[in-house]
């Protein structure tokens, strides 16, 4: 049991390592994944400015920072095993003595670290360029909600990674398809309630919706007074989602890995 745990932790850290070191060795990626969201955020912030809704400029900046996490979950978690298959690493992961869950956990850990740096840069740039102001009602609640949101998001990312073992070339398009529609329903750039209460509640199955809504309620107080649910409920739901997605990811991985072995999909490349 102890050996298995040590192996799990070592494999997890080993898989997280290239992502963390990538920040140093491939700084263009930081530039890439910071500059692109900043430009989108700027476009939305300027649109709010043009519409005279100055209060919502900061909303768009928080949405932009959280967009970086969603993109990381999609591309660096969901589609990652697809890339690994194309580059020939997937079979090595499968035959290694460590569990695939440890590989996924490492990907998540490294991805979180990478993206926290990017999100911080987006928020910093938003403050400098647009004079956005954040006044958290509680720093503890802010950090707690943020961590829970990340846990739930990356748990969902682990589920995606397992599901994507089924797909070939269409994985790229599916990941693309999970961008704008999710930005729309999760209220990344406006209060989720704008969608209508029922739609917003349905959209709450995506942790991004509840996470962003809770963060805004904590960060902006009166401006975001009409949140989707009370922050306490949102925290509870995020905690449940975190646990649920991680358990689901473990199950999906077992089932789909077996499926992929049976259908010979573990080594198929370029399709």
Number of CB atoms found within 10 A of residue 151's CB: 21
- Interaction between residue 87 and another protein (CB under 8 A): yes
Which of these segments, 111-119, 174-182, 201-209, 239-247, binds another protein (CB under 8 A)? 174-182
User: Residue 69 in contact with residue 115, Cβ under 8 Å?
Assistant: yes
CA distance 248 to 91: 23
Binding residue (CB under 8 A) for another protein from 13, 14, 47, 248: 47
Number of CB atoms found within 10 A of residue 6's CB: 10
Which of these segments, 32-40, 92-100, 135-143, 253-261, binds another protein (CB under 8 A)? 32-40
Residue 251 DSSP SS3: helix
- Closer to another protein by CB, 10 or 226: give it: 226
Reference 23, options 35, 31, 12, 15; nearest CA is: 31
- Interaction between residue 264 and another protein (CB under 8 A): no
Binding residue (CB under 8 A) for another protein from 10, 133, 173, 261: 173
User: Residue 211 in contact with residue 153, Cβ under 8 Å?
Assistant: yes
- Interaction between residue 270 and another protein (CB under 8 A): yes
Which of these segments, 4-12, 53-61, 149-157, 245-253, binds another protein (CB under 8 A)? 53-61
- Interaction between residue 191 and another protein (CB under 8 A): yes
Reference 253, options 114, 80, 86, 112; nearest CA is: 80
Torsion of CA 11, 13, 15, 20, to 10 degrees: -170
Interface contacts to another protein, rule CB under 8 A: 26, 28-29, 31-32, 35-36, 39-40, 42-44, 46-53, 55-56, 83, 86-87, 168-170, 173, 176-177, 179-181, 183-184, 187, 189-191, 194-195, 270
């Amino acid at each position: 049991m102890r050996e298995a745990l040590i192996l799990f932790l070592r494999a997890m850290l080993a898989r997280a390592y290239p992502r963390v070191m990538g920040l140093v060795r491939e700084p263009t990626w930081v530039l890439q994944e910071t500059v692109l969201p900043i430009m989108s955020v700027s476009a939305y912030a300027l649109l709010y400015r043009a519409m005279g809704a100055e209060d919502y400029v900061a909303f768009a900046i928080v949405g932009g920072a959280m967009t970086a996490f969603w993109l990381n979950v999609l591309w660096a978690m969901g589609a990652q095993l697809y890339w690994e298959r194309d580059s020939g690493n997937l079979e090595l992961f499968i035959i290694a003595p460590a569990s695939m869950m440890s590989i996924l956990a490492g990907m998540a850990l490294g991805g979180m670290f990478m993206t926290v740096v990017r999100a911080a840069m987006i928020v910093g740039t938003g403050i400098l360029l647009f004079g956005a102001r954040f006044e958290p009602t509680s720093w503890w609640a802010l950090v707690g909600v943020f961590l829970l949101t990340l846990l739930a998001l990356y748990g969902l990312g682990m589920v995606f990674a397992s599901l994507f073992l089924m797909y070939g070339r269409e994985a790229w398009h599916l990941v693309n398809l999970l961008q704008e529609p999710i930005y729309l329903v999760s209220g990344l750039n406006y209060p989720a309630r704008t969608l209508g209460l029922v739609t917003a509640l349905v959209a709450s199955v995506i942790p991004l919706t509840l996470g962003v809504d809770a963060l805004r309620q904590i960060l902006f107080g009166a401006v975001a007074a009409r949140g989707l649910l009370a922050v306490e409920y949102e925290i509870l739901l995020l905690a449940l989602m975190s646990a649920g997605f991680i358990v689901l990811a473990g199950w999906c991985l077992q089932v789909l890995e077996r499926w992929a072995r049976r259908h010979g999909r573990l080594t198929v490349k370029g399709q």
